[in-house]
């Protein structure tokens, strides 16, 4: 009986997740349709690598003697990524955020977000990249190089798949890799990632946008073609680890 109850609970959890994912996808699809016919419009994109000054604001009264400040531009929704990723650069001077074009729905292919760097010393914000590889849970999964303020990493959407991008703030360039990005090694020499489109099968909002048709899926059990990909950030060589 306990085994049967466990099976039922597991199926109920899957059903609830399927319903939640479906609700999010319906909102994204309606938004994409509204965008297509001109009923939904995003703000004009910011120019790249042009710092703009703005004022930090107090975030309400002090709590137990501690004051908080809002350090993102007013009226422009921004987010970082998951709780275990450091949003500050190695020096502590810069804050990296994903600038969202909207908050009321998830993204659909063609919706682009901005990778922004906030200078906490100078009080400026600078857009350094525009990406189609983002979602409402992790943004574009922005991460700093572990030891250098020069490099940022994020997700991008290419050919319906999520891939990694390295942004060079000094040279004002971006390099796109052939494999997905989810985490960078402590040495900064390589990155790891699973297939970001397949994440949506179980956790909508943690991967990249997908079209309504032509979606991939995996059969139960281990796959020989998909898993955890490792990419050498200098050579670009990719290998399937597991």
Rg of the chain on CA atoms, in Å: 20
More confident residue, 228 or 39: 228
Residue 232 phi, psi (nearest 5): -75, 120
Q: Which of 177, 182, 27, 191 is nearest to 111 (CA)?
A: 27
pLDDT digits (tens, 9 = 90+) for 1-26: 557 666 667 666 655 655 566 666 66
pLDDT digits (tens, 9 = 90+) for 113-163: 999 999 999 999 999 999 999 999 999 999 999 999 999 999 999 999 999
Domains of the chain by start residue, with CATH:
44-240 (2.130.10.10)
Look at residue 17 in the predicted model and tell me its pLDDT: 59
Look at residue 21 in the predicted model and tell me its pLDDT: 60
Look at residue 42 in the predicted model and tell me its pLDDT: 75
Look at residue 224 in the predicted model and tell me its pLDDT: 79
pLDDT of 32 over the 70 cut: no
Torsion of CA 183, 150, 187, 179, to 10 degrees: 40
Question: Average pLDDT of 185-203?
Answer: 91
Look at residue 187 in the predicted model and tell me its pLDDT: 96
Q: Is the pTM of this model over 0.75?
A: yes
Q: How confident is the model at residue 202 (pLDDT cuts 50, 70, 90)?
A: confident
Question: Average pLDDT of 58-71?
Answer: 88
Look at residue 134 in the predicted model and tell me its pLDDT: 97
Q: Where are the alpha helices (DSSP H) in 58-120?
A: none
Burial class, 146, CB count within 10 angstroms (exposed 0-12 / middle 13-18 / buried 19+): middle
For residues 164 and 157, the answer to whether their CB atoms sit within 8 Å is: no
203 three-state secondary structure: coil
Geometric angle at alpha carbon 124, from 123 and 125, rounded to 5°: 135
């Amino acid at each position: 009986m306990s085994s049967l109850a466990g099976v039922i609970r597991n199926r109920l959890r899957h059903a609830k997740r399927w319903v939640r994912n479906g609700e999010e996808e319906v909102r994204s699809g309606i938004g994409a349709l509204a965008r297509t016919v001109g009923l939904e419009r995003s703000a004009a994109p910011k120019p790249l690598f042009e710092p703009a000054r703005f004022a930090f604001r107090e975030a309400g009264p002090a709590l137990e003697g501690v004051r908080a400040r809002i350090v993102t531009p007013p009226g422009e929704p921004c987010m970082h990524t998951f709780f275990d990723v450091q949003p500050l650069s190695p020096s502590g001077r810069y804050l990296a955020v994903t600038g969202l074009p909207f908050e009321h729905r998830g993204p659909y292919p063609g919706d682009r977000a901005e990778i922004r760097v906030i200078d906490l010393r100078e009080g400026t914000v600078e857009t350094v990249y525009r990406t189609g590889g983002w979602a409402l849970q992790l943004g574009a999964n922005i991460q700093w190089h572990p030891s250098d303020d020069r490099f940022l990493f994020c997700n991008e959407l290419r050919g319906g798949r999520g891939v990694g991008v390295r942004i060079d703030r000094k040279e004002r360039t971006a390099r796109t890799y052939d494999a997905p990005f989810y985490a960078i090694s402590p040495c900064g020499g390589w990155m790891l990632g699973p297939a970001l489109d397949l994440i949506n099968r179980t956790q909508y909002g943690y991967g990249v946008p997908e079209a309504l048709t032509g979606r991939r899926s995996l059969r139960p059990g281990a796959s020989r073609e998909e898993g955890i990909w490792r990419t050498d950030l200098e050579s670009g060589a990719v290998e399937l680890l597991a």
